[in-house]
Amino acid sequence: MLRIRRKFTPYLFLFIPVAIYLIWVIAPMGYTFYLSLTDWDGISSPSFIGLENYEKLFRDKVFYLSLTNNLKWLVTFITVPVVLGLGLAMALNETIPGEKFFKMSFYMPMVLAMVVSGLIWGWLYHPRGGLINFVLETAHIVEKGPGWLSNRDIVLWSIIIVAIWRQVGYVMVLYLAGLKSINPQLLEAAHVDGASGWRTFWSIILPLLTPVTVIVLVISVIDSLRAFDLVSVMTRGGPANASSVLANFMYIEAFNNYKMGYGAAIAVILFLLSLAFIILYLYRVMQDEMEY
Amino acid sequence: MKKGYFRSPWRVLVYVILVLSTFLWLVPIFTALITSVRTYDDILTNGFFSLPERITLQNFATAWNRGGLNRYLPNSFIITLPSLFLTLLLSSFGAYALARFRFKGNRLFFYTFVGGMLLPFQVLLLPVFRLTDALGLYDTYWGLIGIHTAFQLGFCTFMLRNYMRTVPGEIIEAARMDGCTELGIWGRIMLPLTLPAIAAVATLEFTWIFNDYLWAIVLLRSDQLKPITAGLATLQGQYVTDWPVIVAGALVGTLPTLLVFLFLQRYFIEGLTLGSTK
């Protein structure tokens, strides 16, 4: 009797959370695939149209523009904040005057809502009265500052800078934790053998940080594909789609233009782009399980 | 041997770079603080670095009363706190089963939770919109609470399950011998021993749910129900030419998460690193 009870116990504990997760997260994922094959306006019931949405998507200029912007965002995200975050972690991984203040300053942007960051930076970027152009013009670096959010060539980068501003602290936290787990005796040994600080970093510290780096890269990729809030608040993808990203493109097609089937197709593409990295992350977790 | 931190010119250089970049990082915050207590005319006519003609709290009052923050901010708590409670409660159930029992499908459930937490929201947007509508929860607090509770189960279960695995098995066996029920073990042994992890996850989840914007604009229509994030976007549209009001609103909107961070910083940081290193 007791054995049978024990056999069912885990299922009883899991039943509600798993049911909720299946209904709200896992099943919807599959349903999006189905919706992407339909012509749905959000009111009438979806009618099956095969791959038409995808055919349209692959001819849509805004799609390629958004995809390119996502890729620019992604490449920037796996380089700039990672290098900055690692550099800061190296600098702050020892007792240093004002350590707490430094860390707090870099952590802070992480806590702010994206919407809040977007609004504050929107004001910094403001062509008239905004701090950045005011400084540039007052110091006579340029006669008239650029329209940071209205110039098609720079608008995306203006937004990515805000994302980097947020991301660096996060990368730093992860690397600081990684650095703490390195055995100090290894570094001591390198020092005794006469290795320079630079050499120690490249041949001992960085290789030992590989597991952290994998996580950092996966999270950076996922975050760059999720990018929505900043774009939505700062430019809505404009001007003329110059700062559009897939997540934003999908939202506008589905909820502003009521082309929900089309939106679902964009969502599927976004999912397929993240899939490789989700699998990479799962693989890392599985490896940990094997060692356990 | 040790001569303090500044023992080489290299160190001094690193320190100078640190100070400069920290300053750069804080510029947006300071700019927002200074802007929020000045009038727009004052900034435009006298320039940003002039001494303010006068310090005013009028921008905060405008954002709070006429801008609707007095509704939006309570709404954020009404949505965040139940979501936080439910997701922690349910994930601690699931995590206990996954951490302490051997059974068919254990790993499969676990990997499903982990994989789900990394999904781009867009892939859930339309079906959850439809589901929420079908349940009659569109444009209610509960629609948002539903998706937040469900989606955050992935991260919470992942973190709590890994932590619960480190609890020594002898304690649980001893309790079983003494005739403690499984629910009793969960409540009287597992939960208290998992408290550090729960605190870390809760701190992090509070800021995530509180700062959500996308779900709020998808699942809500009424202005009366909007949380602060969606409310600030509305405020931006309303006061499009009055930046001090918008910035003052943004500062008010970020105050709760900022306070949580300042007072629970240790847990916040622990939460972020729980999953990355063993």
What's the ipTM? 0.93
Q: Side chain identity at A66, as an amino acid letter?
A: S
Q: Any idea of the CA torsion for B66, B68, B71, B72, to the nearest 10 degrees?
A: -160
A59-76 average pLDDT score: 97
Q: Which two tokens stand for residue B237?
A: 């549209």
Measure in Å the smallest separation between the Cα of B111 and chain A Cα atoms.
Answer: 7
* Total-model pTM: 0.94
Element (H, E) at A38: strand A38-39
Give SS3 for A125.
coil
- The answer, for A106 touching chain B at a CB cutoff of 8 Å, is yes
CA distance B125 to B107: 27
CATH number, domain at A148? Answer: 1.10.3720.10
Q: Which two tokens stand for residue B170?
A: 């002898």
| CATH match of B69-274 with 1.10.3720.10 | yes
CB A216 within 8 A of CB A82: yes
Q: Is position A9 within any domain?
A: no
Band of residue A5 on the pLDDT scale cut at 50, 70, 90: low
Q: So what's the pLDDT on residue B168?
A: 87
CA distance A12 to B183: 10
Give SS3 for A47.
strand
Q: So what's the pLDDT on residue B47?
A: 78
Q: Where is average pLDDT lowest: A53-67, A79-93, B40-54, B63-77?
A: B40-54
A181-205 average pLDDT score: 87
Interchain pair B150, A20: CB under 8 A: yes
* Full residue range of the structural domain in which residue A252 is found: 15-291
B22 closest CB neighbour out of A105, A109, A274 = A105
Instruction: Quickly list H helices, chain B.
Output: 9-36, 40-46, 58-65, 69-100, 106-116, 122-134, 141-164, 169-177, 182-185, 191-210, 214-219, 228-238, 243-263, 265-274
A28-49 average pLDDT score: 92
Measure in Å the smallest separation between the Cα of B273 and chain A Cα atoms.
Answer: 6
> B-chain residues within 8 Å CB-CB of A21?
112-113, 116, 150, 153-154
Other residues' Cβ atoms within 10 Å of the Cβ of residue A171: 28
Element (H, E) at A282: helix A260-291
A194-213 average pLDDT score: 90
Q: How many domains does chain A have?
A: 1
CB A130 within 8 A of CB A121: no
Q: Is position A4 within any domain?
A: no
| Cis amide prior to B82 (ω within 30 degrees) | no
Band of residue A166 on the pLDDT scale cut at 50, 70, 90: very high
Q: So what's the pLDDT on residue B278?
A: 43
CB A82 within 8 A of CB B216: no
Q: What is the mean pLDDT of chain A?
A: 92
Interchain pair A267, B157: CB under 8 A: no
CB B127 within 8 A of CB A254: no
Q: Is position A74 within any domain?
A: yes
CA distance A186 to A165: 33
Q: Is position A50 within any domain?
A: yes
A127-147 average pLDDT score: 88
CA distance A263 to A250: 5
CB A83 within 8 A of CB A171: no
CB A273 within 8 A of CB A225: yes
Q: Is position A186 within any domain?
A: yes
CB A253 within 8 A of CB A259: yes
CB B52 within 8 A of CB B42: yes
- The answer, for A276 touching chain B at a CB cutoff of 8 Å, is no
Q: Side chain identity at A280, as an amino acid letter?
A: L
Q: Which two tokens stand for residue A289?
A: 């399980």
- The answer, for A271 touching chain B at a CB cutoff of 8 Å, is yes
A173 closest CB neighbour out of B22, B146, B273 = B273
For chain B, residues with pLDDT lower than 70 are: 1-3, 275-278
A195-213 average pLDDT score: 90
Q: So what's the pLDDT on residue A156?
A: 97
Interchain pair B272, A173: CB under 8 A: yes
pLDDT tens sequence across A207-259 = 999 989 999 999 999 999 999 999 999 999 989 999 999 999 999 999 999 99
Q: So what's the pLDDT on residue A244?
A: 96
Structural domain boundaries of chain B? 9-61, 69-274
Contacts of B102 (CB under 8 A, 6+ apart): none
pLDDT tens sequence across A180-191 = 989 888 888 888
Q: Is position A8 within any domain?
A: no
Percent of chain A with pLDDT over 90: 74
